[in-house]
Structure 1
Amino acid sequence: MGIPVIKTKDGLVKQKSFTYQKEQPWPLVLGIDVSPTSIKYLLLRRKLNSTVIEAYGKFTVSDQEYDLSAKVEEIFTNIIPKSIWKKAKIVVGFDSPRLIVKRESFPRMSVKDMKQAVELGLMQQIENESGEAAVKCDFIPIGSDPELKGNTRYVVFGLPENEIFDKLYAFTNNHIVPHKAVPSIITLSNLLQFIPREERNGNSAILDIGAEHSVLVFFKDGQIDFYREIAVGGDDFTKSVTGTIFHEGRAIQFSAEEALEFKCKYGYPLGFADGMTFRGAPLTEVGAMMRPVVERLSGEIHRSLVFYKENSGGEEISSLYLIGGGAKLKHLTEVLSENMSIPVSTFPIPEKIRVIGSTEDQKRFEQKFLEQAVCLSVAFEASAEKNLLPEPFLKVHKNAIIQKYMAYAAGLVVLILLVISNGVSSQNKKLKREVSAIEARIRKSPSRGDEFAALQKKQKELSSKLAELNSKVYQDSTLTQLLKLVSNVIPENIKLISVDLGKEDAKPKTSRRRSAQQKNKEPEKPKTVLKLGGWAKNPPYDIGVYLAKFVVELEKSGYFDEVVVNEEEYVEEENSYAFSLSAYLKQ
């Protein structure tokens, strides 16, 4: 959603009328939400008229970095098949207390200048706060500025680039390069499509209650407007129940497992379960221990609402939706709604999204929806916009696209050569028929000397053209056969990047097979040589063996007198291997 923005011929940002629009979505997205205590994944496939969840899940992680890396490896090795995630766009959402989100107004300018202006502003703010200058940022256009004519309003966001590298280490450590990295709260606007239109187009808020903390996000006109972290999470409710209760002369204390059982069964019981007990303890007593946590959460939300109203021209939110594991606490929505004097409810389960499998699978997902809501919003990211992926990772995907099109181009070249070869062969046959016709006419007119001489001259001209075409046919046919040979024997992990057929004046300096007798020979005449260039990404340790096998297969083919490796290079920074070789055709 947002205002459409196009780039004009002069490089300026031009805006159309303000309207909500859906971006052309990626067909298959693997959304991964990384938080301090867990990592969630959700594989979303978009079809013509439906959206299907093919896989989802959650891992609890410790503070150890290797534990997160192990969980990422588990997802990409044992849960999502490689044949599937290789075709998917991988989007990583993450939390960061250092994320800066604000609304800015800018005059008409080029896209490049716009990015520089946003980066400079965020860089100064982050540098003042932490002393770090390198910033990765992006912006979302949201409409014309009613206060400044000719200006456009944007949501701009960013954070230190080194923190993004840290967030993605668990993926790069497993040789996984995501297509997109984005703060999770930025993706929450994707959920607004599932709430009533009047709330979506107005002011609303979503409270994500995580295990250790909560995040309150305010939305205006379908885009994030303000957010605030609250130091209260679902674990605080559980810990509050583990305190000691004195009832009828005895002390009662619940274990962590019993506290979790109570929370799932009764939630926040004050005012909802009078006269009931749990393992001998009155629910009212247990609820009294939970009250400080509920009041602290309620107070923080109320202060945030007041602050937002004061800084948004008196505007108030129309509704508050709860997501996250802590949102499943029974009676919490009623208590918050009463304290805030606004409608509060858990986020509605999307009706148009289906889980692959049976009806029971669908019900299980609906039970876990509030926990998976953020991960679902990450998987709904539709394009490369709003992307904080560092430049080195973006280059990896650009290079992959280039290699893909080079492979297509190589196949097209082979096809063109085949067409040319067939065309030359057709002309060759036509000329042969013309020569045969001329010879027949000569035999039928032996007494006409002048005509005979003219026909002989024509025959010589046609024979010359025939010889020239035969030469072309020989060259094109040979090149076609050589390309077929190379494509059949080249190892799968080596990509062919250059092919050249020509003449070479001198013998090569080095060769894998060179006898003493060959060294003493006089320089030979120029020979026809096929020069090949190859490249491999993430080569195995024995890549040299694969190259040697390739050379042997070429020599055994019978086409070449000699095959020579001219150059080999391994680039450690890119983990890539390249080589070039010359194959000398038999005379």
Structure 2
Amino acid sequence: MADILGIDIGSRFVKVIEIRQKPRLQLVNAILFETPYASFEQIEPAQRQIDTKSFWAEITKYIPLPMINRCIIGVDMPAVSISTTTVLLPKMGKGELAQAAVAEAKRKLIPASGSQHIFEYSILEEKLFAKIPKIEALVIRSEKACVGNTLALFKDINTIPSFITPAYSTLPNLIPKEIWSHNEDVLFVDIGASSLNISICKEGRLIVTRDITYGLNDIVQDFSRKLNLSENEAENAIREYGIPQTTFDITNKVLIAEEIMRQKYEVVNAATEEKVKANLLEMGMLWQAHIDRIVNELRRSFIYYKEQSGGRRIGYIYFLGGGSQIKNLVNILSASIGGQCKIMLPFEGIEIIKKQYRDAASSTPVFTNALSLAVSISLDEYKRKLINFLPIELKKRGSAAVRRLVLFIMGIGLFIGFSLALVNMLIGGHLLKASIKEAEFGLKRVKKIADKLKSLSDQETETERISSQIEKIIKQRQDFSYPLKELSRIIPREILLTHLSISKSDGQMGEDISQAGSAGAVSGGKYRLKIEAEIFADYEKTIKIIDQFCGKLEAVHHFSNITSAPLKLEEISPREKGTLEGSPLTEERLRDFTLTAEVAAK
């Protein structure tokens, strides 16, 4: 199985995970770098365009581009673009269920849905209400622009991701299965740079997610303003000291204010060259307001979920993201909200190939979303249920590639089966000869079975004749396996084969490709290969791809006299006013082409 890449593009950092199954799950690479924006204008991070050249330059430092093209890739969707709701519908067919779930979600979700939105759904469970079967489904809404930006990111490397999925729906696959209970659910808290995401999962499936526009950047800016520090100094102080512990009563604000002023006065008058960047007691007091806000948001989520779920409660709380790496933050939040609170350690239970990755609470929780996405793709029983916002036409291309692989494997299986049958017949023929000789020896002494002996002799003659014909067929059969292997190796990813056949050059059709390994052909003479295929591209790019493909065929000595039928060119209409110069003259669409070549057997 190919390696799997999980990519989480955050507002501050990009996290990339590469895993492998051989057969135990292995962590190959864990990459972290700052998100490279093409522009640093004062707009929201979700609206900024990513510098694709810098993005892939960072990743290819660790993973070569050819390896990336062979990987199964899953990309997380920004939480700010995601809205979720659950709907309860009568039991119905799959097509009707999809339409009904989306229609009901459009009615419930706020703000109202528009043409810029897309929807995906997942069945949670089937229930009985008043002896009537009902289906509970989760509907997730996202934005078309978000999916388009993700696909544009991969266009520069001529590949497409296999999954575009909200990572919050895959987080349950990282925690032990025994945690899930029929009465208690799990809450995940992602404290990120620009947002606070709260997701609730029931029996391993996402139920509710909330994204609050409040994160570490807001905390850093508040500290910078109130402590009279630069944002870099404030961030370094938070990284170094976390939430300082204090012995003072935090409710006595007058006493604390006097103590802060006293400490500042002592620092100013102290004869020391060391410059103290932040007062720890003052930092602790500033933290209190932010802790209260996070606790309030968590309690609001508890109350909302309890009302919506009919009294269910949260049993476990997992913290992830960069905020969970701040010293003492999770401990203080746990003391305030209760319950069993833990920090996500995503690398637990995974074999780490490169020993520099250690699963510490101070460094690895930031990789949780990327790893959960990659792990979920690796689980066969979960992959079919994975919510995927990849456009339907790209899903079909991926399915077609899988079908071609399955057909290829089936062809190999049939060839092996046929070969084994031939061997079995040959062995059976030799065994039958031995049996006939033994019978002849016995028939000489038993005259009563003379008729039977004659019948066995006839059978021996027929068996020898069949064996002779089989041996002749095997000797004369043409072997096209190697040229076909070479052909499958050099076919570009952009070309989709629709028909491939091999025929005699004199016009008599030979074997079709599906029978090339299982039927004999008369030796001698030339054979002609005919390829019919499709390319989804504009006219100019299609011509370029076909020329490159012909060049690769000519480089293989089994193919010669390669010709390509002229490609049909549609009428070229003037572009609308304002079109950028240098853009293609024709639009991208499926284009058929035919190619023929002489092929020599191995």
Give the TM-score taking structure 2 as reference length.
Answer: 0.66
Equivalences, count: 483
Q: 3-state SS of the aligned residue for 2:112?
A: helix
Alignment correspondent of 1:573: 588
Q: Distance in 2 between matches of 1:579 and 1:259?
A: 65
- Aligned counterpart in structure 2 of residue 181 of structure 1, from 147, 153, 164: 164
Aligned position for 2:32: 58
> In the alignment, what sits opposite 2:343?
346
**Which residue among 218, 224, 231 is the counterpart of 1:236?**
218
The secondary structure found in structure 1 opposite 2:220 is: helix
Q: Partner residue of 1:355?
A: 352
1:54-109 residue CA offsets vs partner (Å, 9 max, x unmatched) = 11112221443663523542366432235644554211111243423222223332
User: Following the alignment from structure 1 to structure 2, what is the Cα–Cα distance between the partners of residues 80 and 552?
Assistant: 29
Matches within 5 A, 1:186-585: 186-193=169-176, 197=179, 202-245=184-227, 253-269=228-244, 271=246, 279=276, 281-348=278-345, 351-358=348-355, 360-363=356-359, 367-381=362-376, 382=379, 383-385=383-385, 386-405=387-406, 407=408, 480=478, 483=480, 493-494=490-491, 497-502=499-504, 530-533=528-531, 541=544, 543-544=546-547, 547=550, 563=561, 565=563, 567-569=565-567, 573=588, 578-581=593-596
* Inter-CA distance 259–269: structure 2 relative to 1 (3 Å threshold): same
Aligned residues: percent identity?
A: 18
RMSD (Å) for aligned C-alpha atoms: 4.6
Number of the residue aligned with 2:538: none
- Structure 1 residues 266 and 556, CA, compared in 2 at 3 Å: closer, same or farther? closer
Q: Secondary structure at the match of 1:380?
A: helix
Give distance in 1, aligned partners of 2:76 and 2:558.
52
State the Cα deviation string for residues 257-287 of structure 1 (Å, max 9, x = none). Answer: 3212211222122536998888164311233
Q: 2:388 is aligned with what amino acid?
A: N
- Per-residue displacement from partner, 1:21-63 (whole Å, max 9, x unpaired)? xxxxx88421111233332111122344x43211111222144
- Residue 348 (structure 1) shift: 4.9
Distance 1:570 1:407 in 2: 30
Q: Deviations over 1:466-525 (max 9, x none)?
A: 9xx89x979x978726x479559869534885224257689xxxxxxxxxxxxxxxxxxx
| Structure-2 separation of matches of 1:380 and 1:136 | 24
Contact 2:164 2:390 in 1 (8 A): yes
Contact 1:118 1:156 in 2 (8 A): yes
The unaligned stretches of length 5 or more in structure 2 are 39-47, 249-255, 265-274, 425-464, 509-524, 536-540, 570-586
CA offset at residue 328 of structure 1? 1.6
Match of residue 101 from structure 2: 118
Given that residues 267 and 329 in structure 1 are in contact (C-alpha distance below 8 angstroms), is that contact kept between their aligned partners in structure 2? yes
Are residues 1:91 and 2:65 paired?
no
Alignment partners' CA distance in 2, 1:126 and 1:27: 38
Q: SS at 1:398's partner residue?
A: helix
1:164/1:389 contact within 8 Å kept:
yes
Which amino acid in structure 2 is aligned with residue 264 of structure 1?
A: R
**How far did residue 409 of structure 1 move?**
6.8
Given that residues 246 and 284 in structure 2 are in contact (C-alpha distance below 8 angstroms), is that contact kept between their aligned partners in structure 1? Answer: no
- The CA deviation at 1:146 is 5.8
Aligned residue number for residue 450 of structure 2: none
Give 1:122 shift.
3.2
Q: Tell me the CA shift for residue 177 of structure 1.
A: 1.2
Q: 1:79 aligns with which of 62, 82, 88?
A: 62
**Aligned match of 1:11:** none
Contact 2:86 2:137 in 1 (8 A): yes
Deviations 1:172-221 (A, max 9, x none): 34322111111122122223327x62669612311100001110112223
Residues 243, 287 of structure 2: 8 Å contact kept: yes
Is contact 1:69-1:174 (8 Å) kept?
A: no
Q: Distance in 2 between matches of 1:529 and 1:127?
A: 65
- Confirm or deny that 1:150 pairs with 2:145: no
* TM-fit CA distance, 1:128: 7.2
Change (3 A) 1:261 1:554: closer
Distance 1:82 1:230, change over 3 A: same
Instruction: Tell me, yes or no, if the aligned pair for 2:118 and 2:142 is still in contact at 8 Å.
Output: yes
> Could you say what secondary structure the match of 1:368 adopts?
coil
Distance 2:147 2:215 in 1: 24
Q: Residue 126 of structure 1 contacts residue 133 of structure 1 at CA under 8 Å; is this kept in 2?
A: no
